[in-house]
Amino acid sequence: MDFIHPKIIVLSRTDSIGDVALTLPLAGILKKEFPSVKIIFLGNSYTEPVISCSRFVDEVWKWDDLSKMPKADSAKWLREKQVDVFIHVFPRKEIARWARSAGVPHRIGTSHRLFHLLTCNHRPNFTRKNSDLHEAQLNTKLLAPLGITRNFELETLYGFAGFGILPSLPASLNELCVAGKKTVILHPKSKGSAVEWDVANFIQLAESLDPTKYTILFTGTTQEGDLFRDQIPVKPNIFDLTGKMTLKELIAVISKSHCLVAASTGPLHIAGLCGIRTIGLYSSRRPIHPGRWSPLGISIIVFEDKNNSGLNQPLQFDLRDILRQVEQVESL
């Protein structure tokens, strides 16, 4: 590029929580490479609470709001922001056209999108579909036009996420933090984004944990809770929080807990970034296998069902193996 120190960089990732979580390390990498740069993350209102947890993100833009502006007004608005670099981590034709129409000098997008031929003037050539790299590692390939071409280990990328600006636990949820007990979150569903372990297994896992040692929280959306709420054991150490928290509150609860068990879904990635024991349940089928989508973190345990076809076939694991991993949180 024709400059050494960009002043303003936009990272555009307007899809789901897990995808956003695995994009946050780009902000830390860019801050290290260009200490004075301003990092703007273009996401959605839904994922803003996750993005705002990174100490390396200076500003959050919400595409669901910006997309409502008339095209001419939105192009003028972006032009006035004087963005130097616009990185399309998640390719979207309308956003790529927006950045081009605003005259952003350096627009980076994968060469594997035909519309980037007309909208991006830097097109790193790499493929995600058949790569053995992790999603967070693949994201870093988009930094090549900025002279950042080295390979990053997952442990390093976890640090670059900068997930440290965590919301406070609401007073209404303080009762969940019981002295002398470990808090375990069980998140049985994935809104259809992953192959799941049967809810009955999560129920059995909850019943297998010593009630004198563990507080157990079931989480999920209201709709997900409707599918299993009546199966949750009625015990003083087990709480049903499905549909009862905002995403910001969920992040706070996860950050104050000790362990989370879930399939490959957003809360799993949040738990990993929060640094708690994170137990992920995966199919081995490409491209949804853990080698591509495991969470970033310092205490990640992955279970992979190597026989799972991923075609409406639930994950199969020995409950005792997962129980042992949850119970090890006592010694951490």
pLDDT surpassing 70 at residue 65: yes
Query: Token digits for 314?
Result: 């639930």
List the CATH code of the domain at 8-161.
Answer: 3.40.50.2000
Q: Is the pTM of this model over 0.85?
A: yes
Contact 245, 227 (CB under 8 A): no
Name the packing angle between helices 199-208 and 319-327 (round to 10°): 50
User: Using one digit for the tens of pLDDT, what is the confidence trace for 74-118?
Assistant: 999 999 999 999 999 999 999 999 999 999 999 999 999 999 999
- Fold match between 8-161 and 171-331? yes
C-alpha span between 103 and 120 (Å, rounded)? 11
Question: What mean pLDDT value characterizes the chain?
Answer: 94
C-alpha span between 291 and 137 (Å, rounded)? 11
C-alpha span between 215 and 61 (Å, rounded)? 37
What backbone phi and psi angles, to 5 degrees, belong to 149? -125, 0
Measured between its terminal Cα atoms, the distance across the chain in Å is: 46
Tell whether the torsion through CA atoms of 251, 43, 242 and 329 is positive or negative.
negative
List the CATH code of the domain at 171-331.
Answer: 3.40.50.2000
Transcribe 54-108 into DSSP letters.
BTT--EEEEHHHHTTS-HHHHHHHHHHTT-SEEEESS--HHHHHHHHHTT-SEEE
Contact 104, 28 (CB under 8 A): no
> What is each CA distance from 330 to 143, 213, 235, 300, 327, in whole angstroms?
40, 9, 21, 15, 6
Percent pLDDT > 70 in the chain is 98
pLDDT surpassing 70 at residue 2: no
Domain ranges in the chain?
8-161, 171-331
